[in-house]
Amino acid sequence: MTTVIDRIGLLVTNDPAVGAGTAELRDAAVFIDDGTIVWIGDAGRAPHADERIDARGGCVIPGFVDSHSHLMFAGDRADEFEFRMAGRPYTAGGIRRTVGLTRAATDDELRANAQRLRAEMRAQGTTTVEIKSGYGLTIDDESRALRIAREITPETTYLGAHVVPAEFADDPAGYVDLVTGAMLDAAAPHARWIDVFCETGAFDVDQARAILTAGQAVGLGARVHAGQLGESAGVQLAVELGAASVDHCTFLSDADVDALAHSSTVATLLPGVEFSTRQPYPNARRLLDAGATVALACDCNPGSSFTSSMAFCIAVAVRDMGMTPAEALWAATAGGAAALQRTDIGRIAVGARADLVVLDAPSYVHFAYRPGVPIVKRVLAA
C-alpha cells in the first residue's frame, strides 16, 4: 500500500540533515510505502500512489510523541481538582485513592479506559505514547497494568515506585525491597523503562537510586519524576545514572540546569500539571538557553493532569513558558522521541515511520494562536 500526501504548504521535518530545529520545507509532498516514508520532494512531483491525500496548502507535522502518561488507572478525581481551584494544594497522597480504585477494577475495565484515552490522543495527533504502571503497587497489579499497556504501546514503564502504598506505611524500606525484588521480576518482562517519583511524600534520592539501579541491572532504561513540588536531588541523580529523561523539572537549581545541559538526559516539561495544580509553570527558556534538550508531554493521569491534548500543552508552553512555537512543536515531537531514545519517530525523513499529522491550518503556530480549536485534520500512523 502506497500513499502520497501532496500540496503540503509547510512541512515540518525535524530532520537535522535538512536544517536546525523544525527544519521546515515549503510546497512539499511525502510518499509513503507500507508505513515508511520513502520519498520527500516538491509538491506535484511525487510518484503515483494507491492513495492520494491533498493537504490543500496546509501544514504537515510529525505525529506527536507523548513520552509521559499514566493511562493504567480506574476512576476520576475531579473533586480534588475542584478543591485545588478553590486554593487547596496538590499532594502526592491523592495517588493512593486511584490505587484503591485501580486494584478493584477488572482487566477489561482497565483496558477499555486506557484504550479510550489512547484513541482520544490519536485523534488529536499523538502517534506514540509511553504508558506507566504505578496505580497497582502489588506484584500482580503492577504486572497486569504493564501487560495490558503492552497491548497498546512498546513504550511501557514500570512505576512500582509511585508512592508507598498504605499497607507499607510503617515499612517503606520493605516496600523498596519489594519494588526492587519480586515486583521488578514480575514487571520487567512487560516493561522497557523503570521510573520513580523522587519527591517529598514519595521516594527520597537514596531510595530512588536503589530502585533505578535495580531496574538498570535487569536491562530497563531509567526515567525519573523530579522537581515537581520543589527542588529535588532526583534531577542530578537522573543525569548521574544516564536516565533517558527527567520529568516535571518545575523547580530546578542552577546546578540542575547545568547538569542537564551537559548531559544526554532530556528535561521533559508537563504543563498540564501546573495548569491543574495552580503551580508556577516551568521555565523552558532557562533550559533551552543553557543548551538542554527539552520535551513536552501531557502526563495524562487522573490526579495532576487529566489532559490528552498535546496541542494544549504547546499552547501553554508558548504562552507561559518562554518557548517559541517552533521550539514547542519540536519538543512535542522530536523532543519526545529523544526522551524515548527513538530515532524512527518524531521526524519526517526518508526511512522514518510514517507517523504524520495533516493540519487544517497553514502553520503549527495555530496550535497556540488558536488555542482549544481542533486543527488536526488527519492522522496517519504506521
Q: Strand ranges (DSSP E) for 199-335?
A: 221-226, 245-248, 266-269, 294-296
**Using CB under 6 A, which of 69, 113, 157, 228 touches ligand NIG?**
228
CB neighbours of residue 35 within 10 Å: 13
**Partner interacting with residue 234 (select from ligand NIG, Fe ion, none; CB below 5-8 Å by kind):** none
- Residues 303 and 308: their CA atoms lie apart, in Å, by 13
Residue 201 pairs with which residues in a beta bridge?
none
81 binds ligand NIG (CB under 6 A): no
Residue 268 pairs with which residues in a beta bridge?
247, 295
Nearer to ligand NIG, 95 or 358 (CB): 95
- Give residue 66's identity as a one-letter amino acid code: D
Nearer to ligand NIG, 24 or 274 (CB): 274
95 binds ligand NIG (CB under 6 A): yes
- Residues 266 and 238: their CA atoms lie apart, in Å, by 10
- Main-chain dihedrals φ then ψ at residue 77, nearest 5 degrees: -130, 45
Nearest distance, CB of residue 372 and Fe ion, angstroms: 23
In angstroms, what CA-CA distances link 192 with 80, 188, 189, 218, 288? 32, 7, 8, 10, 28
Nearer to ligand NIG, 61 or 99 (CB): 99
Nearer to ligand NIG, 62 or 271 (CB): 271
| Residues 268-327 close enough to bind Fe ion by CB under 5 A | 299
| Residues 51-90 close enough to bind Fe ion by CB under 5 A | none
* Nearest of 285, 268, 372 to residue 320 by alpha carbon: 285
**Partner interacting with residue 307 (select from ligand NIG, Fe ion, none; CB below 5-8 Å by kind):** none
197 binds ligand NIG (CB under 6 A): yes
Task: Name the one range near ligand NIG by CB under 6 A: 2-10, 26-34, 92-100, 116-124.
Answer: 92-100
**Partner interacting with residue 304 (select from ligand NIG, Fe ion, none; CB below 5-8 Å by kind):** ligand NIG
**Using CB under 6 A, which of 303, 322, 335, 336 touches ligand NIG?**
303
- Residues 134 and 74: their CA atoms lie apart, in Å, by 12
234 binds ligand NIG (CB under 6 A): no
What's the grid cell of residue 55? Answer: 493537504
Nearer to Fe ion, 299 or 355 (CB): 299
Nearer to ligand NIG, 162 or 366 (CB): 162
- Residues 10 and 177: their CA atoms lie apart, in Å, by 52
If DSSP codes are grouped into helix, strand and coil, which group holds residue 180?
A: helix
Q: Which residue is nearest to ligand NIG (CB)?
A: 303
- Give residue 41's identity as a one-letter amino acid code: G
Task: Name the one range near ligand NIG by CB under 6 A: 90-98, 111-119, 179-187, 260-268.
Answer: 90-98
- Give residue 268's identity as a one-letter amino acid code: T
307 binds ligand NIG (CB under 6 A): no
Contacts with ligand NIG, residue ranges (CB under 6 A): 70, 94-95, 98, 197, 225, 228, 273, 299, 301-305
